[in-house]
Each structure stands twice: as C-alpha cells, then as structure tokens.
Structure 1
Amino acid sequence: MTIVWLKSLHIAALVIWCGGLLTLPILLTQREAAGDRGAEVDRLHRFTRFAYIALVSPAAFIAIGSGTALILVREIFTVWLAIKLVCVGFLVFLHVWLGLLVLSVFKSGKDFRPWRAISGVVTISLTISAILWVVLAKPDISTDFLPSVFQEPGGLRRLAADVIPGLTP
C-alpha cells in the first residue's frame, strides 16, 4: 500500500512541476506586453515569482523525493533508471534556468521574446516526453559496450587510482 501512495504522490507532484515548467516561459513573455509600467510589471513579477517559489519548486522537491523513495522501496537499479535520472537531471537544469530568468527578465529594460518561450516550451516538452518514454517503455539496454572495470566490484576505485595520486586501489 505504501508504494501506491508514493506513486500517487510522485505523479501528482510531477503533474504540478511539469505543468509549471511549461507555463513559466509563457508567463515570462508577458513581460514585454507590460512594458515599463511599474504596477503592471510588479504584479506580473510577483505572480511569476510566487508560481516559481510557492508552487513549482516545492512540487519539484516532492517529485524528486518521492521518486527517490520509490527507487529505494522497489529496489530498482537498472540501466533504464540511470537514463531516466539523467533526463530528470536535465529537467532540474531547466528548472534552475527558468528561476534565473524569473529574476533577470523583470529588470528594467529587459524582455523575453516569444521565440525564446517557444524554444523553452519545446525543450521542456521533449525532456518530459523522453522521461515518460523511458519510464513506460523500460528499454532493455545492454551494457556490453562498457569496459569490464565498470561492472566489477571496486572497479571504479581501481580506475580512479590511476588518475588520482595517493588513492590506493
């Protein structure tokens, strides 16, 4: 029963996080329409910061936390999961990028062109789609192309000992 609740929490948080990430670039394009009128820009900035800080970011933390708990509870340690985590890492990068934009776009004389919003929404959509595909397809990816040192216990330490002086294998 714990897994059902964790999955439900994870999916709900993902919906809010991903929906917020898709909405933020569109909100940022409204900056140009607001011009330099103080009250309008201030209202839009406060709303955008609220959405990022109070809704999207907590949902991201909950999604990542519940996803980590699911990994540990279900003991899933496969290649497809590693690929999913790389994609989630890129989604986190996009999350931080949007946060920096929320801070910088609302400075005097700044704007956010529609082409940037379109490219942001497309990139976020492709990342979300990649995550969904990996999770739903669970592709069976062979690791035969990796050197055998990566599949031996203590292999990474022996490999690092060649690169890091003073590290004993």
Structure 2
Amino acid sequence: MLPEEIPLLLLVLLMGSCTGSNKELIHVPEETKQIDEGSCVTIPCFYKKTEEETYTLLWFKDPKFNEASKLFNGTIVYSNTKERPQSLDYSGRVEYITDATPQENQKYWIKCDLRITDLQKTDSGNYTFRFIGSDKRFMSKILIYFFVGENVKVLDHLFSLHILFRQSL
C-alpha cells in the first residue's frame, strides 16, 4: 500500500463503521395506523445497549442538526436528562415504555417505546429516537410522520409509522 492511499483507506473504514450502525443499534418496526384526534399511539422501538453504563435517551419531533452546536435540535418529546428537557407541549401526554432488563441481558435489545396520548393536530411531524453515550451517538433513520386532514399524500416510502387523523362526523 502506498502512503498516499492510507487517508483514503481510513476514510472508507470510518464511513463503513458509521453508516450501518443505526440499523444495528436502533429498530423501529414499520407499520401504518389510522387513528382519531384525541386518541393515543404507541410507537414500538428497540435499541441495542453497548458497554456504556448510562445513556441520554431522547425522542425528537422534527429534528434538525445544528452545525454550530453539533447537536440535534427540535421538539423534545421525551428526555431522560435535565440538560435536554421535555417540551411542555408533551408534558403529561407522553410515556416512555421500557422493560426491566436483567443486567446479564443488557447487551441485547432494550425496549424504548413511546406512547403519546390525547393526540393533537399539532403533533404532526417527523419523530426519531436518539441515544447518546459518553463517546457514541446514534439516531434512528426512521421517520415517523403524523398526517393531519383528508388531503394526504404519502411523500416517501421511508416513513415507518403513518398516522392519519380522521375527521369527526
């Protein structure tokens, strides 16, 4: 191998280790649901715990990456940390559902379901799950979109959960 090829090899190795990690470490099953405004929805989710002891766990609505702060910003629907608190719009309407996993099984999948009750039209948006360790950060690539109203078009087949609000008669 020539010395000028080493940076290219390192770039390929780095990209290979980053691109596939979300699929291996976060799983949100694909499904379609139609529900009424005022109802509740549970978004199933699992993540694979690595060697880290503690994680910051976040569910975002409409996340956007901020280059300056190097953080994802958006509406925080659920948070397990005071540094990035839950939005007041979701206070009292969100439940994070996990299982009490025995210590010996914590290298396996951990449940990270999100339940939102009393769904409102303002809940429309893209939802993603993120977990952050001391030196690792992962975010689901899955987009969960809540559609509101009757004139709905599916914009992209990447949506995991497609929720339609039905108009009351």
TM band (smaller chain): under 0.3
TM-score (structure 2 length as normaliser): 0.27
TM-score (structure 1 length as normaliser): 0.27
Indicate the structure with greater strand content.
2
Q: Which has the larger radius of gyration?
A: 1
Indicate the structure with greater helix content.
1
